[in-house]
Amino acid sequence: MGMDLLQPSFTGGEISPSLSYRTDLQRYATACKALKNWIVHPHGGTSNRPGTEFIAATKDNSKRSRIIPFEFSIEQAYTIEFGDQYFRFFMDGGQILLNNVPYEITSPFVEADLSSIKFTQSADVLFLVHPKYAPRTLTRSGHTNWSIGLYEFKNGPYRRANATSTTITPSAATGNITLTASSAIFDPGHVGSWWRIGTHIDNNGDQYGCVKITAVTSSTVVSATVYSTLAATTVTDDWAEGAWSGYRGWPSSVMFCQDKLVFGNTPSDPQGYWMSTTGDYNNFISHGTLQDTDSITNYLTSRKVNAIRNMVDLGDVMALTSDSEWHVGPGSSDGIIKPTSLRQRCDGHSGCSLADPVVIKNRAVYVQPMGTIVQDIGYSYESDGYIGDDISIFANHLFKGKTVVEMAYQQEPDHIIWIILNDGSMVAMTYLKEQQILGCTPIQTDGLYESVCTIPGNGYDEVWFIINRDGKRYVERLPDRLPSTDPADCTFLDCWLKYKGVPADEISGLNHLEGKTVNVLADGYVEKGLMVTNGKITLSREASKVCIGLPYVSDFETLNVDFATNNGTIQSRNVKISNVTLIFENSRGGYIGANFDKMKEVNQYSGQPSGTPIPLYSGEYDESLADGGYTKGGRICFRQSDPLPVTILAIIPDVTMGG
């Protein structure tokens, strides 16, 4: 007589082959050997992933582009296509048009620099930084009224005060003046930069004014405009050069924290960070007698000069360098970051890659420097510091030999981090730290994933992609996985489009799938292997609800069965699975077997009237596998290749131990 073994959860995801026999791990009981094109639900079940909806082609198929989110509020959110010197915009599941053509604006960023743009947002303004470009602002005034301009910063920020013997002599204290230096310190790239000029006044201490350079005459003479009156016009060695300029380079990171706009890392000061005055994001003023709201200029005090690659707001500033993780926060008990009281501390030495981190509640998830390890970090009361873990270790085979390109976090409905790798594949990582849920699954499509972002949708977070399909780049999105339990509403195909109208057997408008072999769900019935010719397909019969797209296969395979015996481990024994019970939820179709070479079709026909598609099924489903014989391992395989949903809540094999 066999033994019924229950696996009620799959939250461990697909684990590395090197862990296939680690039955001592708690995760073994909830993990699988394979979960290709499945997603893990925090409640324990696993489902075949939804398909992607075709939205539009990118402007230029020959060039890479990138998508980023713009979220004014939960009700008003956009996806922006960053391309070679242009921006295009999407909202409400479609592309924004003006006069029936895609609305776009000109951008200064070229294709090669798109991946290095960092951004943060306040209301209708997106702040953009790149080390080769002066910071920009992208401002929304309406759906078809966007503008990009230079970020107009003032009153700094400045580098460290001059510590050389070089002096500067101003020609006047106000207006348009000339600055003459005693040695060669000026460069044409200094045009537009701010400089602070100081003078010591008896009984009044050091007094400072600020100027902005308007022209460079030579390496020792420049023209400038005074914005804060100089204390004197005498020669002085008390001066400070602007931190940002065409000569020194521009910030590489940007974020908001405690109502300050924070920048980090220029080519000249890779460990520097600069905070605006509180509530005034363009102002970097610092008074002679410091005020709590003044700007802040500081530098990480590391023995190694490793650049700040990313910054995230975890209540305080978390600065992630190529070598370490730094916490920059208040130095007093009031919890306020201010120039008179600032504390910075190194909390670890994992280091960070250039890929943008994602913030999940009170934690950040980022990629280590080599691009192959995903790590989290958050505050620990026990250690009074920020600590984290390698969260990709149990599925490191999905990352080995690859690097993470982009990540985006979809909170609703399943807490998934979508991780794009440099080979065009993707990993879906279900991450719910407080419930100790962490499971990775590999995601593949007929094409290469190149960019991802998420924005709020109607009751769930939408995931948007740019996917390269045979040299054609498309903007696509993941819609709600199961909008209803009507089979005709299912969309488990990639790059799909829908027809809804009077019954028809010829469906057109499929030019983006030209020459492709597609599958179809027509009024809830599956048709396979149709070729798109001249943007059209012909169905075997008329239908009024038709979803057409690229097929994909979702493969599920359990780990070896495991249970205690009187004679030690069962891992080396022959076992037979004579029967298996699956607990389905809103599922239809699929194939099951002891391996992927010998499978039986799941038969859920329930006697519905002729002309009515088989409905989705929830409940127990039993399948005999008696012909599988004895094998080592005792695994169960399930495959869904039809454009239909499958959710497995639990699996119960009937196991007999042999010799």
CA dihedral 55, 61, 66, 70 (to 10 degrees): -40
Under the banding of pLDDT at 50, 70 and 90, the label for residue 659 is low
Domain boundary among 293, 319, 352: 352
By three-state DSSP, how is residue 144 classified?
coil
Strands of the sheet containing 145-150, edge to edge, are: 118-122, 125-130, 133-142, 145-150
Q: What pLDDT digit, counting tens, does each position of 612-658 carry?
A: 889 999 999 999 887 767 787 788 999 999 999 999 999 999 888 77
Bigger pLDDT: 137 or 330? 137
| 35 touches 442 (CB < 8 A) | yes
Same domain flag for 346 and 290: yes
Q: Does residue 443 lie in a domain region?
A: no
| 224 touches 176 (CB < 8 A) | yes
Q: Return d(Cα 134, Cα 138) in angstroms, integer.
A: 13
Same domain flag for 568 and 591: yes
pLDDT (mean) for 372-385: 90
Q: Does residue 628 lie in a domain region?
A: yes
Amino acid at 248: R
Q: Does residue 421 lie in a domain region?
A: no
Same domain flag for 537 and 564: no
Provide, rounded to the nearest whole percent, the portion of the chain with pLDDT above 90. Answer: 82
Same domain flag for 263 and 334: yes
Q: Does residue 263 lie in a domain region?
A: yes
Instruction: Convert 115-146 to b/e letters by CB count within 10 Å (16 or more is b).
Output: bebbbbbeeeebbbbbbebbbbbbebeeeeeb
Domain boundary among 533, 550, 567: 550
Q: Kindly report the three-state secondary structure assignment for every residue of 347-374.
A: EECCCCCCCCCEEECCEEEEECCCCCCE
Q: Return d(Cα 548, Cα 85) in angstroms, integer.
A: 33
Q: Does residue 279 lie in a domain region?
A: yes
Q: Does residue 303 lie in a domain region?
A: yes
pLDDT (mean) for 384-403: 93
Q: Does residue 196 lie in a domain region?
A: yes
DSSP summary character for residue 659: -
pLDDT given at position 1: 55
pLDDT (mean) for 561-572: 74
Record the tokens describing residue 467, joined without a space: 């996917």
Same domain flag for 269 and 347: yes
Q: Return d(Cα 186, Cα 188) in angstroms, integer.
A: 7
Under the banding of pLDDT at 50, 70 and 90, the label for residue 567 is confident
pLDDT given at position 204: 55
Same domain flag for 565 and 532: no
Q: What pLDDT digit, counting tens, does each position of 413-454 carry?
A: 999 999 999 999 999 999 999 999 999 999 999 999 999 999
Q: Return d(Cα 60, Cα 369) in angstroms, integer.
A: 31
Q: Return d(Cα 69, Cα 405) in angstroms, integer.
A: 16
Q: Return d(Cα 468, Cα 472) in angstroms, integer.
A: 6
Domain boundary among 303, 324, 352: 352
pLDDT given at position 606: 66
pLDDT (mean) for 52-56: 98
pLDDT given at position 200: 58
| 187 touches 144 (CB < 8 A) | no
Residue 301 scores a pLDDT above 60: yes
Q: What pLDDT digit, counting tens, does each position of 22-36 carry?
A: 988 999 999 999 999
Same domain flag for 285 and 197: no
Q: What pLDDT digit, counting tens, does each position of 157-199 carry?
A: 999 999 999 999 999 999 999 999 999 999 999 999 999 998 7
Same domain flag for 602 and 651: yes
Instruction: Convert 22-39 to b/e letters by CB count within 10 Å (16 or more is b).
Output: ebeeebbebbbbbbbbbb
Same domain flag for 523 and 612: no
Bigger pLDDT: 612 or 119? 119
**Average pLDDT, whole number, for the chain?**
93
Same domain flag for 642 and 584: yes
By three-state DSSP, how is residue 115 classified?
helix
Domain encompassing residue 515 = 494-550
Residue 205 scores a pLDDT above 70: no
Same domain flag for 543 and 564: no
Other CB atoms within a 10 A radius of the CB of residue 217 amount to 12
- Residue 498's region, left for phi above 0, alpha for psi from -120 to 50, else beta, is beta
Q: Does residue 614 lie in a domain region?
A: yes
Q: Under 8 Å CB-to-CB from 568, ≥6 apart: which residues?
A: none
| 213 touches 223 (CB < 8 A) | yes
Same domain flag for 523 and 603: no
pLDDT given at position 220: 97
DSSP summary character for residue 295: -
Query: Strands 31-36 and 13-14, how do they pair?
Result: parallel
Residue 497 scores a pLDDT above 60: yes
Half-sphere exposure of 501 (CA within 13 A, CB side): 7
Report how many domains make up the chain.
4
Query: 542: closest CA among 517, 518, 525?
Result: 525
pLDDT given at position 591: 96
